[in-house]
Structure 1
Amino acid sequence: MDWFFKFPHMDDDALRNLKKMIDAGFRAFTRANGDAIDGFFSPLQKFLILADQFMTQTPWPIITLIILAIAWLASRSLKVVLGCLITLLTIGFFDMWDDTMRTISMIFVCTVLSIVLGLPIGILMSRSDRFQKLVNPILDVMQTMPSFVYLIPVVMLLGIGKVPGLIAVVIYAVPPMIRLTNLGIRLVDRDILEASDAFGSSSWQKLLNVQLPLALPTIMAGINQTIMMALAMVVVASMIGVQGLGQPVLKAIANQYFTLGVFNGLAIVGIAIIFDRVSQAYGRRLQKHREVVHG
């Protein structure tokens, strides 16, 4: 009756040998292709370094004005702009400016990469039910896998550094971008699509001129969620060398520095609120514009 109380499982030696075989195969792959993988991700590293240098070496008043200008153009709200200004000044006052700028540069690059990867996949999913059924389980795994697990393969492939951390963050953050792009395009009114067909639009013209513009509010919601998930991954990515606000938090955990952890944690919250309010306000403006055009 042991089988009734203890779930039957693979023999311990067989299970151990299977794990060893998989690990050995992955290590052999990384040794054989390490240089090629490094070369493939070299442009990404340069982009990340440029973004980091721009954010950290540009004088703080200029960076502040740029962020406030973006917030105003996106939201057209003085309340949002004032909130951004107070948050940035508070971060600077408590000597967290450089780490914050490194974090913002990382989130910027992650968001750009997530859009570049997620938008085409979402478009393909919206155009093919078979492709959607194939990709959905993969996205489910990506969203439910513990974030720490993503660090293992990227560190084995690329070692410790910014690029492995960036890749781990993108893998963790890109699913909402893909899902909401697919959803936004599928929710476009069929009557509008039929009218577009009646005017002789090609499939490509219909996508660019009708579907994507009408799906833009939903796509913006996907970008918003991608940014939030990337920020949530910042502390985890700091374990493999990603600089920014995550490293002081990690140091605070290791050394039980309460105020260091709380201050830097609140700075992450402040950035998250800035990104969230600005992107949501822009999404609402797009939604209102669409309602005016089609109302």
Structure 2
Amino acid sequence: MEWLQEFPAMSRDNLRVMRQTIDGAFKDFTRAYGDAIESAFDPIKDFLIFLEHLLINSPWPIILAVLVGIVYLMSRNTKITIGSLVALCVIGYLGMWEDTMRTIAMVTVCTMMAIVLGIPLGILMARSDRIQSIINPVLDLMQTMPSFVYLIPVVMIFGLGKVPGMIAVVIYAIPPMIRLTNLGIRLVDTDVLEAADAFGSSSWQKLTNVQLPLALPTIMAGVNQTIMMALAMVVVAALIGVKGLGQPVLNAIANQYLTMGVMNGLAIVAIAIIFDRATQAYGKRLQKHSEVIHG
């Protein structure tokens, strides 16, 4: 029975050696390739900086009109448009306009990245059960892993700033985009696909002319959830230097400023509601349009 008493100590020693080996190898990797990896994200970082400067430095009435116009074009709902206008005006009146524009720029860029990466992966999952069985556990891990854990390897590679913030937000927000793209394509009626086959459609034609248009309402639901998760990650990303509404919230926590924390928290909620209502309304419009065409 002596080996049983020695087993915990042996396990701890082996575990410590394994951790040191992995940590050392990852540090060597970041020293060797960190700069090259970071330079690959320069175009995205430049676009984010450009969008931030555009939203912040442009006259606020123009930006307000453009944002409210986008909400109206997506929702075609007067109540949602007026509510968005009032919320944005209150945000500006309370002095949170610049931080809000930074947050909108970050969420916009991260959502675009999630769409560009998520839709192709969702299509691959929909076309192959084997690929789905491989990607699903990865998505489960991404959705259940505490968000703070994402920051550790990202910060080790990129340091502090916009790039690690973007990567952490995309990793946290992309799973719904992939899952709902996969689901939307798989839910397309087989009769419609058989009709497309009867007309001699190729695999690419079926995808672009039949499956994606019919799956678009479900894909829009994925976009909606991606935006919501990206906004939820804003405060966490502020820990690694991402500017926006998250930093005042962290300052309020550190200094026990109740009013600052509540005001910036409510601003995040307001932006989330605007995005949510606009994308949901747009998704419903796509659903009705799809039903009319399908009918």
Aligned residue in 2 for 1:21: 21
Partner deviation per Cα, 1:188-238 (whole Å, 9 max, x = no partner): 000000001111111001100100000000000000000000000000000
Structure-1 separation of matches of 2:286 and 2:27: 48
Deviating more after overlay: 274-283 vs 51-60? 51-60
TM-score by length of 2: 0.97
SS at match of 1:201: coil
SS at match of 1:62: helix
Flag the 1:248–1:196 CA change in 2: closer, same or farther, 3 A. same
- Give me the identity figure in percent: 68
Instruction: Give the alignment's Cα RMSD to 1 decimal.
Output: 1.6
Partner amino acid for 1:133?
S
Structure-2 separation of matches of 1:73 and 1:9: 65
Flag the 1:202–1:94 CA change in 2: closer, same or farther, 3 A. same
Partner amino acid for 1:35?
D
Is 1:194 matched with 2:189? no
Deviating more after overlay: 163-172 vs 58-67? 58-67
| TM-fit CA distance, 1:294 | 2.0
Aligned residue in 2 for 1:57: 57
SS at match of 2:188: coil
SS at match of 2:185: helix
Aligned residue in 2 for 1:278: 278
Flag the 1:2–1:87 CA change in 2: closer, same or farther, 3 A. farther
| TM-fit CA distance, 1:11 | 2.2
Partner deviation per Cα, 1:135-179 (whole Å, 9 max, x = no partner): 000000000000000000010000000110010000000000000
Deviating more after overlay: 247-256 vs 36-45? 36-45
Structure-2 separation of matches of 1:260 and 1:234: 16
| TM-fit CA distance, 1:55 | 1.2
Aligned residue in 2 for 1:185: 185
Moved over 2 A (4+): 1-4, 7-11
| TM-fit CA distance, 1:288 | 0.8
Structure-2 separation of matches of 1:9 and 1:65: 66
| TM-fit CA distance, 1:9 | 8.0
Partner amino acid for 2:19?
K
SS at match of 2:222: helix
SS at match of 1:11: helix
Partner deviation per Cα, 1:41-83 (whole Å, 9 max, x = no partner): 1111111111111111111111111111111111111011001
Structure-1 separation of matches of 2:178 and 2:212: 13
Is 1:152 matched with 2:167? no
Structure-1 separation of matches of 2:35 and 2:169: 22
Partner amino acid for 2:163?
V
| TM-fit CA distance, 1:2 | 11
Structure-2 separation of matches of 1:2 and 1:134: 42
Correspondences of 1:109-124 after superposition (within 5 Å): 109-124=109-124
Aligned residue in 2 for 1:134: 134
Deviating more after overlay: 11-20 vs 133-142? 11-20
Flag the 1:9–1:268 CA change in 2: closer, same or farther, 3 A. farther
Deviating more after overlay: 245-254 vs 16-25? 16-25
Identify unmatched segments of 5+ residues in structure 1.
none
Partner deviation per Cα, 1:18-50 (whole Å, 9 max, x = no partner): 111111100000001122112111111111111
Aligned residue in 2 for 1:167: 167
Flag the 1:209–1:262 CA change in 2: closer, same or farther, 3 A. same
Is 1:212 matched with 2:212? yes
Is 1:262 matched with 2:283? no
SS at match of 1:243: coil
Identify unmatched segments of 5+ residues in structure 2.
none
Deviating more after overlay: 170-179 vs 32-41? 32-41
Structure-2 separation of matches of 1:264 and 1:251: 11
Aligned residue in 1 for 2:97: 97
Partner deviation per Cα, 1:70-129 (whole Å, 9 max, x = no partner): 111111110110010011001001000000000000000000000000000000100000
> What is the number of equivalent residue pairs in this alignment?
293
Structure-1 separation of matches of 2:2 and 2:108: 55
Structure-2 separation of matches of 1:48 and 1:198: 46
Is 1:143 matched with 2:143? yes
Flag the 1:99–1:202 CA change in 2: closer, same or farther, 3 A. same
Partner amino acid for 1:93?
Y
Flag the 1:175–1:10 CA change in 2: closer, same or farther, 3 A. farther
